[in-house]
Every structure is written in C-alpha cells, then in structure tokens.
Amino acid sequence: MRLLYRITLVLLISALGANLFADSEEDSATDEALQDSLRLAALDNGIDSIDVSNYPEEMQQYYEVVKEKCTQCHKLSRIINSEFALPGEWKRYVKRMRRKPGSKIKKKHAKKIYKFLVYDSEQRKADLIKIKTAAAGKDAKQKK
C-alpha cells in the first residue's frame, strides 16, 4: 500500500510539474507579445515629425519619400522614435518593410528612405550610435 501511495505521489508531482512548465511557457509567449505591443505603442506615441529645415536639400526630398511610403501601415512616429540607428539596422528594416504585402515601396524608394534614415540617425541619434558601436566592438572582442 505504501508503494502504491508513493507511486501515485510521484506521478502526481510530475504531472503537476509538466503542467506548470507548459503554463509558464505560454505565459512568457503572451508576455513577449504584450511587451512588443507596449514597445510599439510607446514609439507610436512619441514625437511625430522631424525638423529637417537644416538638412541638405537632398535629404529634405528623401524625407518626403519616407513620409509618403512609410506611413501606409503605421505612424511616422514609429520610425522617428525607433531605437534603430546603425546603417545595418536600417538596411535590414527597410528591406523587411519593403517585403510586407502591399508595401508599394520600390527599390528606388527604398534607397532614398535608407539614405535618409542613416543621415537622420547621425543627426539625432549620435549618442545612440556611439553606444551601439561600442557595444558591437565589445561583442567582437569577446568572441575572439
């Protein structure tokens, strides 16, 4: 009888354990989705235009392309307040956005948008670029 009791106990505990584990995995997926929507909402609710009056003429023209092409699915503020700042980050993201169904962003637009985002990041996010570049350098050293 004691053996049966023990076996039952072990089975119960492992079932409970498995159940807890499954639940926590589900929770963390929900948490991640929530975090992501909160993050996007924070970007969307930030400043919604850039003062480009001191930017070179060419960049001012490219800004118009960004405003036209990149606001079809979300606000411009999502881009303006984004934490992307490095050329590589913008390259990857402009590509990703261009590939979204119905984006209507041609290659010639993508190039201008990319150039603007890189230039604008250099103006407004110089500190962020420094931090990111330093972090990337550290990573590279650690990998050696």
In the complex with ligand HEC, the residue whose CB is nearer, 101 or 127, is 101
Identity of the residue numbered 27: D
Position 73 contacts ligand HEC (CB under 6 A): yes
Give me the least distance between CB of 125 and ligand HEC, in Å please. 12
**Interaction mask 74-103, ligand HEC, x per CB under 6 A:** x---xx--x-x--------xx--x--x-xx
Give me the least distance between CB of 103 and ligand HEC, in Å please. 4
DSSP secondary structure, the chain, as one string: -HHHHHHHHHHHHHHHHHHHHHHHHHHHHHHHHHHHHHHHHHHHTS------TTS-HHHHHHHHHHHHHTTSSS-HHHHHT-S--SHHHHHHHHHHHHTSTT----HHHHHHHHHHHHHHHHHH-HHHHHHHHHHHHHHHHHH-
Which residues from 1-40 bind ligand HEC, rule CB under 6 A?
A: none
Position 113 contacts ligand HEC (CB under 6 A): yes
Calpha distance 132→122 (Å, rounded): 12
Of the candidates 14, 24, 60, 72, which one interacts with ligand HEC according to CB under 6 A? Answer: 72
Q: Are 62 and 116 in contact (CB under 8 A)?
A: yes
Which residues from 38-67 bind ligand HEC, rule CB under 6 A?
A: none
Position 105 contacts ligand HEC (CB under 6 A): yes
| Contact set with ligand HEC (CB under 6 A) | 69-70, 72-74, 78-79, 82, 84, 93-94, 97, 100, 102-103, 105, 113
